């Protein structure tokens, strides 16, 4: 039997339905058909439908990809985790961050930020930078709810750039939680709350990462040449004038540092620095009591070795003969101080307890690690020869007290000799 296609079978059926087939019973003869699928015939008749079908599938996939139809649930989850995490941390510290105004002659001379870390006995204690408040007695604090209250300087230190001030706790509800910078790692998310460029932008939040730890940054305390070194945290969270004293927080809203300064250069962006919270806590009890840090005093004047103009100006060029390019040159030694009889004019100090001294800033940094009464070893080049000199450290006021007592006794002694009475006063003063 001749094989026919499926199309031909259909044609046959259509003719048989018409009744024109040669059969007594008006029925068509059933045809045996080989039903093997013919692709060429199918495509010739249905290619348009196939193209539309494929185009529809492609369009569907493209639409879902563009509008997140396949990953909508995942995307929402990621956003919620990140945003809620940082927002929750901000909420923990925001109300405890304050704006500080330092007044001079009834005008705001300096402004900055601070954060409330403690409430005790009707007082709320605020941490901020020393360069924001100094030792001023005319301070105003504006809280997050816009209440303005008088503040009092409690204690601080200009070299550490740390200060504590206090206000009434009447309007204070929350205090910050102090965390740990030691546990923080590079790349951690951090944020800060502050008042850049004044009251208008009070409560500004900026976000970044922890960019560095243990950065040694030379700073100016006296307002002139860099004269001290601070060990700081580095972050790219935006900082501007007015952010000084504000909290640097981890993603949980725990304070890990206090903003202090930023690197300002035309070609530099995103280099802000904060004092580690551990360095603050080490001196917090002292500042809360109103006491100052007792620092050692050598009793010398010095200039940087690499400052050729200063070396020449003080007439030190003739006293030194060295190939060194780092260190400090002794310009003067005060009588009766720790350095008297130990150091000489023209000595080049290169190390303090084996730690290299680059300049005066690093010299003070290494010296101030020690306390009054400690002994330090100074590595000194004198007339081309290196030597180690051990010096016992004293407090600066030790010398002043000595001279006050000495001249006080001398005056009373002269008074007694000339006038001949008041010897009882002299005896009392001598044993006071």
Q: Which residues pair with 164 in a beta bridge?
A: 127, 155
Burial of 161 (0-12, 13-18, 19+ CB in 10 A): buried
Query: Does residue 188 carry a catalytic annotation?
Result: no
Query: Does residue 226 carry a catalytic annotation?
Result: no
Residue-wise DSSP of 96-114: TEEEEEEEETTEEEEEEEE
Q: Which of 161, 169, 227, 347 is catalytic?
A: 161
Determine the number of helices (DSSP H) and then strands (DSSP E) in the chain. 9, 21
For residue 80, the model assigns a pLDDT of 44
- Cβ atoms within 10 Å of 306's Cβ, excluding its own: 15
Mean pLDDT of 155-176: 95
Contacts for 397-403 with beta carbons within 8 Å, 24 or more apart? Answer: 398/297, 398/372, 399/297, 399/299, 399/334, 399/336, 399/337, 402/336, 403/336
For residue 26, the model assigns a pLDDT of 45
How large is the angle between the packed helices 423-430 and 396-419, nearest 10 degrees? 160
Indicate whether 62 pLDDT > 70. Answer: no
Half-sphere exposure of 285 (CA within 13 A, CB side): 1
Indicate whether 22 pLDDT > 50. Answer: no
For residue 41, the model assigns a pLDDT of 59
Report d(CA 137, CA 153) in Å as an integer. 6
Return the closest-CA partner of residue 38 out of 28, 46, 30: 46
Choose between 73 and 168: higher pLDDT.
168
Mean pLDDT of 152-167: 96
Mean pLDDT of 175-197: 95
Percentage of the chain beyond pLDDT 90 is 57
Does the domain spanning 93-293 belong to CATH 2.40.10.120?
Answer: yes
Polymer length in residues for the chain: 432
Choose between 246 and 427: higher pLDDT.
246
Phi, psi of 14 (to 5 degrees): -65, -40
Q: Which of 181, 244, 260, 338 is catalytic?
A: 244
- DSSP 3-state of 212: strand
- Cβ atoms within 10 Å of 71's Cβ, excluding its own: 12
Q: What is the pTM of this model?
A: 0.72
CA angle 215, 221, 224 (to 5 degrees): 110
Choose between 403 and 265: higher pLDDT.
265
* CATH number for the domain formed by residue range(s) 296-392: 2.30.42.10
For residue 365, the model assigns a pLDDT of 94
Torsion sign (Cα): 99, 102, 107, 108: negative
Report d(CA 98, CA 115) in Å as an integer. 6
Report d(CA 343, CA 351) in Å as an integer. 14
> Looking at residue 143, what DSSP letter applies?
-
Mean pLDDT of 394-415: 58
Query: Does residue 244 carry a catalytic annotation?
Result: yes
pLDDT per residue as tens digits for the range 99-143: 999 999 889 999 999 999 999 999 999 999 999 998 888 999 999
Q: Which of 96, 131, 181, 283 is catalytic?
A: 131
- For residue 312, CA distances in Å to 306, 326, 328 come to 11, 16, 14
Any residues with CB less than 8 A from the CB of 220 and at least 6 apart, and which? 226, 227, 228
> Looking at residue 390, what DSSP letter applies?
E
Domain spans of the chain?
Answer: 1-34, 93-293, 296-392, 397-430
């Amino acid at each position: 039997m001749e094989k026919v296609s499926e199309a031909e079978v259909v044609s046959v059926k259509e003719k048989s339905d018409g009744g024109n087939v040669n059969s007594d019973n008006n029925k068509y003869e059933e045809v045996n058909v080989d039903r093997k699928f013919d692709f060429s015939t199918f495509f010739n008749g249905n290619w348009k439908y196939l193209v539309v079908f494929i185009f529809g599938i492609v369009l569907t996939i493209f639409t879902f990809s563009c509008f997140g139809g396949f990953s909508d649930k995942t995307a929402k989850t990621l956003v919620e985790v990140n945003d809620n995490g940082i927002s929750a941390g901000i909420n923990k510290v925001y109300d405890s961050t304050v704006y500080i105004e330092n007044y001079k002659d009834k005008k705001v001379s300096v402004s900055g930020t601070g954060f409330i870390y403690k409430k005790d006995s009707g007082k709320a204690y605020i941490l901020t930078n020393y360069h924001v408040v100094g030792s001023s007695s005319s301070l105003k604090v504006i809280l997050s709810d816009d209440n303005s209250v008088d503040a009092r300087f409690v204690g601080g230190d200009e070299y550490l750039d740390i200060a504590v001030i206090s206000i009434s706790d009447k309007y204070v509800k929350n205090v910050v939680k102090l965390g740990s910078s030691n546990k923080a790692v590079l790349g951690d998310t951090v944020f800060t709350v502050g008042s850049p460029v004044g009251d208008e932008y009070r409560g500004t939040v900026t976000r970044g990462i922890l960019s560095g730890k243990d950065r040694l940054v030379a700073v100016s305390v006296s307002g002139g040449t860099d004269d001290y070194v601070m060990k700081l945290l580095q972050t790219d969270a935006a900082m501007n004038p007015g952010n000084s004293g504000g909290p640097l927080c981890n993603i949980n809203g725990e304070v890990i540092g206090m903003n202090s300064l930023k690197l300002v250069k035309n070609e530099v962006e995103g280099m802000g620095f904060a004092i580690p919270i551990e360095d603050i806590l080490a001196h917090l009890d002292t500042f809360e009591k109103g006491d100052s840090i007792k620092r050692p005093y050598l009793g010398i004047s010095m200039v940087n070795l690499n400052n050729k103009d200063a070396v020449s100006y003080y007439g030190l060029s003739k006293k030194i003969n060295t190939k060194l390019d780092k260190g400090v040159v002794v310009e003067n030694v005060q009588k009766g101080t720790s350095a008297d009889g130990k150091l000489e004019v023209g000595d080049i100090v290169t190390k303090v307890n084996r730690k290299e001294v680059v300049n005066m800033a690093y010299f003070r940094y290494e010296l101030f690690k020690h306390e009054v009464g400690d002994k330090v070893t100074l590595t000194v080049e004198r007339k081309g020869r290196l030597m180690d000199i051990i010096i016992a450290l004293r407090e600066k006021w030790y010398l002043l007290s000595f001279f006050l007592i000495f001249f006080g006794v001398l005056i009373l002694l002269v008074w007694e000799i000339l006038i001949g009475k008041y010897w009882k006063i002299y005896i009392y003063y001598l044993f006071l």
